[in-house]
Structure 1
Amino acid sequence: MEVFSPDGTRIAYEQRGSGPPLVLVDAAGHFRANSPLDELAGLLAGDFTVVRYDRRGRGDSTDTAPYTPDRGVGDLAALIGAVGGPAALYGYSSGCLVALHAAAAGLPVRRLALLEPPIDTTRDDPGQREFTARLRALTGADAVEFFMAGIGVPEEMITAMRDTPYWSAVVSVAPTLAYDSMLSESVDEDLLRRVPVPTLVLHSAASTTDLTRMAELAAGRIPHAVLRGLPGAWHSVPASVLATALTDFLR
């Protein structure tokens, strides 16, 4: 299935199940063919019409330069319109930032759930801008290595990922990693305070302190947010655990 964003970009998506619409927004480097969200979607499909899509420039979706966070919002607006919103949104990692922009922009979003949003509300952070610029200058595996190290992925995890199908898939969409860095630049306290809907902010009990603190920051700034820790691994929570938490909150 496909829908067209306001700028003409084709956004490929799929849906399963029945019930209120729930759109899953993937993390950096992920798309439908390379994502942990497929298992989660299957577990949620008994209660929701679950929509998964390829963010622009990934998988079967096209791209239109230049990238801006507003274009990601347009993609979600087109998807929500296609499935007959209002919709709930679940964002994972940098996917949270797309979801936050969409809610703050006034899209028909009824609830948000966010797993470890990578948020630093420092305005005009030169370090983040420099990171984005360096990332845009790199290609392929070099960009992936730089991005993963820069966001704090443990070295042993990066080593384990090399020479795997997952790694090759992320390399195939390496240019879009700069989009996620630009999203990080675009989130500030003003945007968080403009999110009008009930929001569940989640973190894994096994994540590092930096990720936990960012989740706490988001929950503290979003007006109608609650914070919840779940058992899991670094920057991830098992699909079965997530499905229960999401169903309880979104239903």
Structure 2
Amino acid sequence: MDKETTSHDGTSLAYRVTGQGPVVVLVSGALSTGATLAPLAARLADRFTVVLYDRRGRGASGDIPPYAVEREVEDLAAVIGAVGGEAALYGISSGGALVLRAAAGGLPLRRVAVYEPPFAMDDRAVREREQYTRDLTAALGRGRRGDAVELFLRLTGLAPEMIRNARQSPMWAGLETVAPSLAYDDAVLGDGRVPAHVLAAIRVPVLSLAGGASPGPLRAAARAVADGVPEGTYRVLAGQSHMVEPDVLAPVLAEFFAQ
């Protein structure tokens, strides 16, 4: 990241701008920084001014406590203000949930797209998320960042053997570095349920995407988002999973954002 702006509470936010055209801000999900979405940005830069930023507590951005979801909405407002004052937003996973809350908050947006915001679609999933919140809070409170990362990976359905292998990999240290921000993603998702009151307050068109190879609950959550906003469209990307391929996603986003 090579630029910096300041959020309402004084937190420094690192961001990068590429391309030329209408502004599109990309919002990453859990355990990631703005750089995670760089391949997608590269595929949109021929038609849009694409902005990548590190959410607070990640990468080169700062983090002034106490945390609140409203602070992250203010962060997005600061980034948008720094790059022209109006934008379209794309968010993946929990970043999508943040984007929806920002849209409901009245930010100067043209359009919003989200990919598989992981809302809980039944009571069992809600209970699992409640337990995850308790366990995550305890792990981070004890400074056990590795355990916090493992809790998140288990929540996503990653097999125990894969988690054990990940703990031994070079990438693990980087995951532990951003582990405290897992609490922020958890807060953005609220009680885990689809936030009907948030969706009803959104006044811009929303494209809610899911992968055809993703688990059914993720597709159901994406459909529920499209159904819950006044101007929502649901679309499935054939053969894609939660790790959506930029080459598949970029043309769909470009078509939607160009309208």
User: What TM-score, normalized to structure 1?
Assistant: 0.92
Task: Find the aligned partners of 1:197 and 1:115 in 2 and give their Cα distance.
Answer: 16
> Aligned residue for 2:8?
6
Q: Are 2:98 and 2:188, in contact at CA under 8 Å, matched by a contact in 1? A: yes
Deviation at 1:162, TM superposition (A): 3.7
Q: Are 2:27 and 2:34, in contact at CA under 8 Å, matched by a contact in 1? A: no
Q: Are 1:121 and 1:188, in contact at CA under 8 Å, matched by a contact in 2? A: no
Compared with structure 1, are the counterparts of its residues 130 and 66 closer, same or farther at alpha carbon in structure 2 (3 Å cutoff)? Answer: farther
Q: Which of 195, 208, 227 is matched with 1:201 structurally?
A: 208
Tell me which amino acid in the other structure corresponds to 1:61: S
Deviation at 1:220, TM superposition (A): 1.2
Q: Which runs of 5+ in 1 are unaligned?
A: none
Q: Are 1:114 and 1:201, in contact at CA under 8 Å, matched by a contact in 2? A: yes
Task: Find the aligned partners of 1:152 and 1:194 in 2 and give their Cα distance.
Answer: 32
Deviation at 1:159, TM superposition (A): 4.9
> Aligned residue for 1:169?
174
Task: Find the aligned partners of 1:22 and 1:96 in 2 and give their Cα distance.
Answer: 14
> Aligned residue for 1:147?
152
Q: Are 1:21 and 1:85, in contact at CA under 8 Å, matched by a contact in 2? A: no
Q: Which of 199, 222, 238 is matched with 1:215 structurally?
A: 222
- Say yes or no: does 1:27 pair with 2:2: no
Task: Find the aligned partners of 1:226 and 1:155 in 2 and give their Cα distance.
Answer: 36
Cα RMSD, aligned residues only = 2.0
**How is 1:170-185 mapped onto 2 (pairs within 5 angstroms)?**
170-185=175-190
Task: Find the aligned partners of 1:157 and 1:210 in 2 and give their Cα distance.
Answer: 22
Which 4+ stretches in 1 moved above 4 angstroms? 154-157
Deviation at 1:129, TM superposition (A): 4.2
User: What TM-score, normalized to structure 2?
Assistant: 0.89
Deviation at 1:151, TM superposition (A): 3.3
Cα deviation 1:7-46 (Å, max 9, x = unaligned): 000010001001011000001010034x1x1111001001
Q: Which runs of 5+ in 2 are unaligned?
A: none
SS at the partner of 1:185? coil
> Aligned residue for 1:235?
242
Q: Are 2:121 and 2:221, in contact at CA under 8 Å, matched by a contact in 1? A: no
**How is 1:47-86 mapped onto 2 (pairs within 5 angstroms)?**
47-86=47-86
